[in-house]
Amino acid sequence: MDESLQTLRRKIALGTRILASQGCLGDILGHLSARIPGTDEMFMRLLGDEEKGLLYSDVRHVRRLGFDRTVEQVDGYRVPLELPIHGELYKARPEAQVVLHAHPYHCLIATIAGLELRPIYGSYDPLILSRAMQGIPVYPRSVLIDSPELAAEFISAMGDSDCCLMRGHGLTVIGPTVEAVTLLALRLEMLAKITLDATRATGGRALEPLPQADLDAFAFVVKQGLQAAVSKVYEWTWNHYVQRIADTVGLPAEDE
């Protein structure tokens, strides 16, 4: 296999380990994929026999498949029922190079409670501020997105955003790289946790966004785009999580 494609498979396995280690992916629930450049195919982390869970993802778990769910298995690995989330997003959003569908706990509770994720903090973590300022859409249903028709309904709710909460279900994120998608999902989950904690601390009172003067102070992030404005911070943060994985469960094993 071309080395660039093998590198992409490694990143998917590594991103999956990072997301699982931080609670954004469950034991075996959720999936991370990446478009294979120049094709109508993707690499995706699939479940197989002798499965140990997403925290222990290896390169062999990342398989090549099409955008449409035409088979039940690929090389002995099961194709997820919610493949249409990925395939239909790749068709509808040419800029999407990576798709994550995850089940982060605090995002789940926030959607059930009807809590909006708003720009309630700034310098604590400016990296999430522009997303919160733009508003984070919510898909109001809690069904499995297991058909192109339901995927189209979900994509309509998502609009032109690069992330969408799913009521009673989870979160979907798209982006240009595995790193960008992984780190955005982690920060959205932290925003949801802080929103829940702050709501409890204020006795359920609706949380006010930052004053406009404070929001204006971070205008450079919104204007340049989050990743462009803080690309080095993205690199350092990704390296931090890679090292944490290396020091705990270890890095993904290569393909057999």
> What are the CA-CA distances from residue 10 to residues 52, 59, 186, 209 (Å)?
18, 5, 19, 39
Q: Among residues 72, 82, 179, 235, which one is catalytic?
A: 82
Residues 6+ apart with CB under 8 A from 72: 78, 79
Q: Please tell me whether residue 124 adopts helix, strand or coil conformation.
A: coil
Residues 6+ apart with CB under 8 A from 212: none
Residues 6+ apart with CB under 8 A from 133: 119, 215, 222
Q: Please tell me whether residue 207 adopts helix, strand or coil conformation.
A: coil
Alpha carbons 186 and 176: distance in angstroms, whole number: 16
Q: Catalytic annotation on 82? A: yes
Q: What is the dihedral of CA 127, 222, 32, 22, to 10 degrees?
A: 10
Catalytic residues: 82
